[in-house]
Chains A and B, each alone.
Chain A
Amino acid sequence: MGWIGKSVKRSDAKSKVMGAALYIDDYGYEGMLHAATVRSPYPRARIKKIDFSQAQKVPGFVRGITAKDVPGKNLWPLVMHDYPFLAEREAKFAGEAVALVAAESLQAARDAAAATRLLLEELPCVTDPLQALKKSAPRVYGRDNVFARYVVKKGDVAKGFEEADAVAEGIFTTGYQMQAYLETQGMIAFPESHGGVTLYGSMQCPYYVHDAVAAALGIAYNKVRVVQRSTGGGFGGKEDMPALVGTHAALAAVLTGRPVKLIYDRREDFISMSRRHPSWTQLRYGAKRDGALTACQAKFILDAGAYATLSPIVLWRGTVHAAGPYRIPHVLIESCAAATHKAPCGAFRGFGQPQSAFAHESLIDELALKLDMDPLDFRLKNALRVGDETATGQKLGESCGMVDALEEVRDASDWKKKRADYPAWKSGGARRRGIGVAANYYGVSLGARGRYLDRAAAQVQIQPDGTVMVAIGNTEIGQGARTVISQIAAESLNAPYEHIQVLETDTSRVPDSGPTVASRTTLMSGNAVLNACEPLRRRIFETAQEMLKKKGGAETPMSASDGKFSVAAAEVGFAEVARECYLRKLKMAEQGWYSAPPTSFDTETGQGDAYVTYAYSANVAEVEVDAETGETKVTKVTSAHDIGKVINPNAAEGQIEGGIVQALGYAFIEEIIEREGQVVNPNFTDYILPASADAPEFKTILLEHPYPAGPYGAKGLAESPIIGPAPAALNALRHACGVRLSHIPAMPEAIWKAVKHGDQKKQ
């Protein structure tokens, strides 16, 4: 293979280092207005009046917009259809959009928003998810404040625990985490003469924006066009949310007849956009004396916030993976997403799995200790292998690298020795060392719960000069989609990699290809591109063959590599062949399509094929803890990832390293402080992100258990790396200090207290 498996340079790198890449706030149009959002300050309030009379006095004010001005349906067509674009009678979280203003400048828009008077009546609210599930709780959603419930039931869990010789149980909780993409949300809407609108902006999922804008404006789909601009990070935070931001911009544009820019400042991004769900998990595992797991029982609750957004799907992913990547005969998992009067939680890299994995990987460690087994050996003994069944009863027929990943990290990290040596390690004073492991799997793409969306389109055009334009429906959000797609197209066509240009994603170019989420782009868009390339490849190869024949190279079979075709000494380049194809009037553009194979899943029992395939990761983390301050430094993370065929090793490493640092932020430093429904620290001054000095040393191992239905055997990668490092680090802390922290983020004070308490107990 020529381009596959090569660390070619990213196709967008040059423009990004030159400062030439343009993000949405870098664009402007003649006559463009700026919009700003008026938000409810209370967790729950009845809206009595919205008064723009003071706002109108702000020089440059153009108009105010409320729910009454929404020409179409004031309900976002997303999963549960419960979120109004602008709150109408009741606002359900502090920060919810109640009105918009459009003005001649950004400053005027912000001043006018501040001058807009809301007459609100504060109502009783509930901000704790366990309270929200009680009968007496104030209503957030439906009759019981539950957005979704799931069950995964395999075997007979009571019998499983009877068979167990050892049982471990515990309650684990996780806090919020912000996606904290460096570029805040932003959109520009441009009103079109046909009455429709074109949107440009920062986003992962243009088709979600398309759906929402058409619904809110009450216009046909063919009058909406959505174009993605360079996007400064997403991590799930730009999955559904840009549809809300885009709809607001579109409303303002259509109602004023002028282009409108709407860019969030960091504070409003913090208080109103989605974030990772806090979670509560009660978990029990049982195992035989020899270490074989017999049973797993879990109750898994997510704090979803005021509107459902993607919570049902996040919950589903967290639920089906909640037993961990192990062979367990008896499983019972029950889960629910509780509605509370807080900002809606939604998609964030890992999508419910970092929460459930924190619980299962912490408790697996405890059970290993109870059985007096090495935690890594214990995992190895139970790890899923080809032929095994997952918790949902899905039989793994192929491409399962869990054991491989665990063995690799064990050897590469020098696990046995460090596990034995670290407890005795002392360095002047109170510093201690520990090493811990975690294993996880990740269902690639949308799976049974999102199967209607699991399709992707592509368009490939070969130009007369031999360059190639590729359009896909998934987006480049920094993960390297355009680079990987270029490699796949180059490989298939035998075109030089540099000749491929993957265009900005535009809903008018290719049909709805579902979202850019769930580590699905390489698999889905990659396959769609291959499908489009297939007939083009045939034409290119046949033409090349005939050209070579004329050049006298007739006998031996043609070889094709590096953009060149040759027979014996005769050779033609891709560009020459492309030109010849045009002269022969061959069709040089094709559409491609790929849809995921059907899954069989029974939602009553939670049994069936949850996902088409899985990626597998193992992480070993090493920590140094200062017992006197609780300060914990993760010094090294050794990780191994089975992601199928690796298309671009350098880009894959980048995804892994970035995912690990995000995971360590989740484990130790990133904390949203929320009091009575208000975010107390909505800024980077008080919500701390890992900086370069916090990054550990990495040892990254890529494993390839090819997935036959993936492009060149690829599966998917982006999310698996964020799932395991947090529990691995907390397991290392357990090893270093002998204490189990059952909540993340584990802040220094909590660690210090736990260590002190643990030390006292020992004495």
Chain B
Amino acid sequence: MKPSNKGRKSAVAAIKVQDGWMTVETTVNGARQSWKIRPDDFLLDALRREGFKGAKKGCETGDCGSCAVLLDGKAVASCLLLAAQSQDREITTIEGLGTPSEPHPLQEAFVDTGGIQCGFCIPGMILSAKALLDRTPSPTEAEIRRALDGVLCRCTGYVKQVQAVKLAAERKK
């Protein structure tokens, strides 16, 4: 889940720094955002500061996946990306996935299979699963496990989460 930056250098380079602050323009869950940030702010911290608390901080070293968000549809560890790297890109956080009355099929499926215990890994899990299903609507079990591999869950033993992704894929058909 390491961030990729291909072809994005120019957008980032165009941001001006003034008195140690810079402004990034990005899109989060479909809404345009303009953030005043420090050049060394990480995306995870910026998101959390702006109220997207669903992105969790489990390690800050890119190992646990609790901070996973979608960047242009791909699951990335937001604790390893600089906030500036989100310039002109589209971010999806767990808050953007569904509403309580109309949850995303993945959110429903996680509830139905019981793939939730403490819940700390769940936003990252669901977003990683979404990146997979958007790409591969009918994944095999091995593909699901690979897609979830970047997100650690200390509680569940993973089966019910894998089942949830399968169930969501079936329901979407």
A interface residue numbers (CB < 8 A to B)? 7, 9-10, 12-23, 25-26, 179-184, 230-235, 265-266, 477-480, 650-651, 653-654, 656-662, 683-685, 689, 691-693, 695, 698
Q: Of the candidates B61, B111, B148, which one forms a contact with A13 in the assembled complex, judged by CB atoms under 8 Å apart? A: B111
- Contact between B58 and A9 (Cβ–Cβ < 8 Å)? no
* With A23-B120, A654-B155 already in contact, 19 other A-B pairs whose C-beta atoms are closer than 8 Å: A17-B111, A17-B116, A18-B94, A19-B94, A25-B48, A179-B154, A182-B152, A183-B58, A233-B120, A266-B60, A477-B118, A478-B117, A653-B114, A656-B157, A658-B154, A689-B154, A691-B158, A692-B161, A695-B158
Is the C-beta of B121 less than 8 angstroms from some C-beta in chain A?
yes
Contact of A654 among B93, B95, B126, B157 (CB under 8 A): B157
- Are B158 and A684 in contact (CB-based, < 8 A)? no
Closest to B104 in A: A17
Chain A's nearest CB lies how many Å from the CB of B125?
Answer: 9
Q: Is the CB of A235 within 8 A of B112?
A: no
A637 to B131, CA, bound (A): 30
Residues of A within 8 Å of B66, CB to CB, are: 182
- Choose among A15, A234, A477, A684 the residue that contacts B152 (Cβ–Cβ < 8 A): A684
- With A230-B119, A657-B156 in contact, is A684–B63 under 8 Å at CB? yes
B159 at the interface (CB under 8 A from A): yes
Contact sample, A vs B, 25 pairs, CB 8 Å cutoff: A10-B114, A13-B110, A17-B94, A19-B122, A26-B53, A182-B58, A182-B152, A184-B57, A184-B58, A230-B119, A231-B118, A232-B58, A265-B60, A266-B60, A477-B118, A650-B160, A653-B114, A657-B157, A657-B158, A684-B63, A685-B61, A691-B150, A691-B152, A691-B158, A692-B162
Given the complex, which residues of A lie within 8 Å of B145, measured CB to CB? 692-693
Please tell me if B153 contacts chain A, counting CB pairs below 8 Å.
yes
B59 CB-CB contact with A under 8 Å: yes
Instruction: Please report the C-alpha to C-alpha distance between residue A693 and residue B61 in the assembled complex, in whole angstroms.
Output: 20
For the A-B complex, the count of residue pairs with Cβ-Cβ distances under 8 Å equals 170
Bits for B128-165, please: 1 = Cβ < 8 Å to A, else 0.
00000000000000001110111111111111111000
Chain A residues within an 8 Å CB radius of B117: 233, 478-480, 654, 658
Report if B166 contacts A (CB, 8 A): no
A266 in contact with B61 given A7-B114, A183-B120, A651-B114 (CB within 8 Å): yes
CB < 8 Å neighbour of B149 from A12, A660, A684, A693: A693
Given A17-B126, A692-B161, A683 contacting B59 (CB threshold 8 A): yes
Nearest Cβ distance between residue B42 and chain A, in whole angstroms?
12
Of B54, B97, B112, B154, the residue contacting A182 (CB under 8 A) is B154
Is B56 interfacial (CB 8 A cutoff)?
yes
Instruction: Let me know if B157 and A660 touch, CB within 8 A.
Output: yes
A18 touching B58, Cβ below 8 Å: no
Instruction: Report which B residues bind A (CB closer than 8 A).
Output: 48, 53-54, 56-64, 66, 93-95, 97-100, 103, 106-108, 110-112, 114, 116-123, 126, 144-146, 148-162
Question: Are the CB atoms of B56 and A233 closer together than 8 Å?
Answer: no
Other-chain residue from A16, A266, A691, A695 in contact with B159 (beta carbon distance below 8 A): A695
B171 to chain A minimum Cβ distance, whole angstroms, is 15
Complex CA gap A470/B155 in Å reads: 25
Q: Which residues of B contact A698 (CB under 8 A)?
A: 157, 159
**How far apart are A533's CB and chain B's nearest CB, in angstroms?**
26
CA distance A657 to B155 in the complex (A): 8
**Distance to closest chain A CB from B156 (angstroms):** 5
Residue of A nearest to B40 (CB): A107
Cβ-defined partner of A661 (8 Å) among B48, B64, B158: B158
Flag if A18 contacts B107 (CB, 8 Å): yes
Q: Which of B99, B120, B148 has the most CB of A within 10 A?
A: B120
- Nearest chain A CB to B57's CB is how many angstroms away? 7
| Separation of A651 and B111 alpha carbons in the complex (Å) | 12
Query: For the complex, what is the distance from the CA of A22 to the CA of B151, rounded to whole Å?
Result: 19
User: Are the C-beta atoms of A13 and B116 separated by less than 8 Å?
Assistant: yes
Alpha-carbon gap, A7 to B151, bound state (A): 26
Specify the chain A residue showing the minimal Cβ separation from B100. A18
Q: Which residue of B lies closest to A694 (CB)?
A: B158
Which residues of the other chain, A, contact B162 by a CB distance below 8 angstroms? Answer: 692
C-alpha spacing A354/B5, complex, angstroms: 45
Name the A residues within 8 Å of B57 (CB-CB): 25, 184
Residues of A within 8 A of B158 (CB): 657, 661, 691-692, 695
Contacts of A16 in B (CB 8 A): 116, 119, 122
A698 to B157, CA, bound (A): 9
How many Å from the CB of A614 to the closest CB on chain B? Answer: 23
Q: How far is the CA of A483 from the CA of B121 in the complex (A)?
A: 19
List the B side residues contacting A478 at CB < 8 Å. 117-119, 155
Residues of chain A lying within 8 A (CB to CB) of residue B100: 14, 18, 20
User: Contact at B118–A181, with CB atoms within 8 Å?
Assistant: yes
